A = this chain, B = another copy of it.
Amino acid sequence: MTREAIIERLAKLDTCAVSDGMDRLGLKGATFGVRPMWPCPKIVRRAITMKIKPVGLDKSKQHLGTQAIVAANPGDIIVIDNGGRPDTSCWGGLLSLAALTKGISGVVIDGACRDVDESREVGFPVYARAAVPMTARSRVMEESCNREIEFAGVQVHPGDLVIADGSGIVIIPRAKEEEVVREAEAVTATEARMAEGIREGMSVLEVLERLGYEQMLTRNSRSSQSRWCRMPWIVWEFTGSAWAFNPSLRVVRRRAGRSP
Contact = CB atoms under 8 A, between A and B. Distances in A.
**Contact size range, A:** 35 or more
B209 A62 contact: yes
A140 interface: no
A194 B32 contact: no
B205 A16 contact: no
A107 to B, nearest CB: 13
Contact of A16 (B62, B133, B203): B133
Interface in A77-99: 86-87, 89, 92-95, 97-99
A244 interface: no
Nearest to A95: B204
A31 B131 CA distance: 10
Nearest to A213: B63
Contacts of A70: 203-205
Interface in A152-191: 165-170, 191
Contacts of A30: 132-134
A209 B63 CA distance: 7
A109 B198 CA distance: 22
Given A94-B195, A131-B168, A134-B19, A66 B209 contact: yes
B208 A63 contact: yes
A217 interface: yes
Contacts of A135: 16, 19-20, 23, 217
Interface stretch (A2-10, A45-53, A110-118, A225-233): A110-118
A250 interface: no
Contact of A138 (B23, B89, B134, B166): B23
